[in-house]
Amino acid sequence: MRIINKRIAADPAYLPRISLIGAVVFVISVWHIPVPVTGSSSHPVGTPLAAIIIGPFATVVISAISLFFQAFVAHGGLTTIGANTFSMGIVGAFSGYLVYRLLKNIFPLWFSAGMAGFVGSILTYITAALELALSLNPENVVQYWKLYSLGFIPTQLPLAFAEFALTGYVIKYISETKPEVVAPAGVCLDRFTKIALGLMILITSLIAIGAYIGYLRGSDMAGTDSTVEALAAPGAISNGIGVRLMARFGEPIGFGSVGIIGGLITGYFWSGARRKS
């Protein structure tokens, strides 16, 4: 969001460009084909194309917005926005953008952009297969990751070739008509963004490593909350007010409310502290 704001301040035309590309990503990725083996669906992603035009960081934002609205047309869902944003908005966008940057000085522009679309599409679904295996089959992740990845191939491979053609054609056309629209070669990150990205990677790595170590040691993976509750208050009433509220409103609402409110409060005080300093 900070990068988007800086780009808009430098070039006001960047805002309608983001809106247009957001609509393009929504339309491209909303076309879904069921994949019986995975219990999921396969579809073009459009994020490599978006990353080349508006940059990969802005693509993550419009991907999350597109996925939010797609949840209301029976595609994905509100509880899967995080996983889908990671596979489509982050892996798809950054892998495609990296391929484009690596190839564009060696091969023709249309081929570099096409390969970006192809690779981004394939890696999106390899990541989605991993997410499905982690979610549904934690007892044997690698085997089911292979199974789900193979399940996507019959539908995703033709779509990836189609995305190769679409991305290559669009970028070639734009470069010939309005070359200034394509995202600049480099992305300059300010200190705040670098620290935020570093902390995100560090925290995610620590969580993943801790979960993997617990899994290897045979832990039942009950979760931090259950473990803390059992150790801190072994004599607590099992049918207390908190348990009854969770049973009535559900954990997603409970955790979602706490997370949103906590994030707003933290952001408010963080912004105030930065202004004072």
Q: Is 62 exposed, middle or buried (0-12, 13-18, 19+ CB in 10 A)?
A: buried
Question: Are 7 and 109 within one domain?
Answer: yes
Domain boundary pick from 181, 208, 227? 181
Task: Please give the Cα distance from 207 to 201 (Å, whole number).
Answer: 10
Question: Are 127 and 251 within one domain?
Answer: no
Secondary structure letter of residue 13 according to DSSP: T
Domain that holds residue 260: 238-277
- Low-confidence stretches of the chain (pLDDT beneath 70): 35-40, 183-189, 211-234, 236-238, 242-243, 246, 249-254, 277
Q: What element of type H or E holds 185?
A: none
Question: Are 171 and 256 within one domain?
Answer: no
Task: Please give the Cα distance from 156 to 162 (Å, whole number).
Answer: 10
Closest CA to 125 of 26, 48, 10, 18: 48
- Any domain includes 208: no
Domain boundary pick from 156, 181, 206? 181
190: its two tokens? 């300010």
Question: Are 177 and 263 within one domain?
Answer: no
pLDDT of res. 50: 93
Question: Are 143 and 275 within one domain?
Answer: no
| Domain total of the chain | 2
- Any domain includes 72: yes
pLDDT of res. 252: 66
pLDDT of res. 113: 92
Question: Are 170 and 255 within one domain?
Answer: no
**The Cα angle at residue 28 between residues 24 and 29, in degrees rounded to 5:** 115
Question: Are 142 and 77 within one domain?
Answer: yes
Q: What element of type H or E holds 33?
A: strand 33-35
pLDDT of res. 117: 93
- Any domain includes 26: yes
- Any domain includes 210: no
